[in-house]
């Protein structure tokens, strides 16, 4: 039986599977988000063999960095850690809505239908460009407690998961942009070099 409020809170967090993290921005988050041109963004991530307290601590630090940057998704390689780990929160203004944590995510099915939608990235701040992706996906992953999960995602969640999973393979959304004129203009305007783009075409 828990002996204190702290133990009760930890037990509740453990039972619910949701990490208790403030969505308020932090002035100095512990993890730095790397930007286009940093080689660290191009290295593939490795599977996580054990989901333990160190992984949950990393999740919390990633969430702090994501919320501080006003982002809705962040992959571990973006903070220089090459593990297959994503954090996503499409409702960052709502403290009651828990973030989604995906460990070792695998897309098991893509829809035949595709959509074009504008994307941005915390690793390429200020740049927003259209990207074509499948409309819906099915994803297998483990949550922050190591429990296997499956979800069907569409709309913004589908796009966000695909975008963040690209980071696990060293791919950035600008690599998928087909309009080269718009791409070059946006990159130049925001101080990035188009030579750091690796076209997927």
Answer whether residue 183 is part of any domain.
yes
Answer whether residue 133 is part of any domain.
yes
Q: Do residues 49 and 84 lie in contact, with contact meaning Cβ atoms separated by under 8 Å?
A: no
pLDDT, mean of residues 108-137: 98
Residues carrying an active site annotation: 164
Task: Please give the pLDDT value at position 17.
Answer: 47
Q: How many CA atoms lie within 13 A of 22 on its CB side?
A: 5
pLDDT band at 27 (very low <50, low <70, confident <90, very high): confident
pLDDT in tens, 32-71: 999 999 999 999 999 999 999 999 999 999 999 999 999 9
Task: Please give the pLDDT value at position 182.
Answer: 97
Segments of 49-173 assigned E as strands: 73-75, 85-88, 100-110, 114-119, 129-134, 137-142, 148-153
Answer whether residue 15 is part of any domain.
no
Answer whether residue 12 is part of any domain.
no
pLDDT band at 74 (very low <50, low <70, confident <90, very high): very high
Q: How far apart are CA 40 and CA 63, in angstroms?
A: 19
CA dihedral for 24, 25, 29, 32, sign (positive or negative): positive
CATH number at residue 87: 3.90.45.10
Closest alpha carbon to 34 in 81, 104, 101, 92:
81
pLDDT in tens, 148-200: 999 999 999 999 999 999 999 999 999 999 999 999 999 999 999 999 999 98
Answer whether residue 57 is part of any domain.
yes
Paired tokens of 78: 């973006």
Closest alpha carbon to 89 in 169, 18, 166:
18
Q: How far apart are CA 51 and CA 7, in angstroms?
A: 21
Answer whether residue 148 is part of any domain.
yes
* Overall number of domains in the chain: 1
pLDDT cut 70: percent of the chain above it: 91
pTM of the shown model? 0.90
Q: Do residues 101 and 173 lie in contact, with contact meaning Cβ atoms separated by under 8 Å?
A: no
Find the domain containing 60 and state its range. Answer: 31-191
Answer whether residue 95 is part of any domain.
yes
Task: Please give the pLDDT value at position 11.
Answer: 46
Q: How far apart are CA 33 and CA 26, in angstroms?
A: 14
Answer whether residue 2 is part of any domain.
no
Average per-residue pLDDT in the chain?
92
């Amino acid at each position: 039986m828990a002996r204190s409020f702290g133990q009760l809170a930890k037990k509740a967090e453990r039972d619910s599977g949701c990490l208790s993290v403030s969505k308020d921005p932090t002035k100095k988050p512990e993890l730095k988000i790397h930007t286009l041109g940093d080689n660290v963004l191009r290295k593939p991530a490795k599977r996580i063999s054990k989901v333990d307290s160190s992984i949950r601590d990393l999740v919390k630090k990633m969430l702090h960095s994501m919320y501080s940057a006003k982002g809705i998704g962040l992959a571990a390689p973006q903070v220089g850690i090459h593990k297959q780990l994503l954090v996503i929160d499409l409702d960052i203004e709502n403290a009651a809505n828990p973030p989604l944590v995906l460990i070792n995510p695998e897309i098991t099915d893509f829809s035949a239908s595709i959509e074009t939608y504008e994307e941005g990235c915390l690793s390429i701040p200020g740049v927003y460009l259209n990207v074509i992706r499948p409309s819906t996906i099915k994803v297998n992953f483990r949550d922050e407690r190591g429990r296997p999960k499956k979800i069907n995602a569409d709309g913004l969640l589908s796009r966000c998961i695909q975008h963040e999973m690209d980071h696990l393979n060293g791919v950035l959304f600008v690599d998928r942009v087909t309009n080269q004129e718009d791409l070059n203009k946006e990159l130049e305007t925001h101080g990035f070099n188009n030579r750091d783009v690796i076209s997927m075409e």
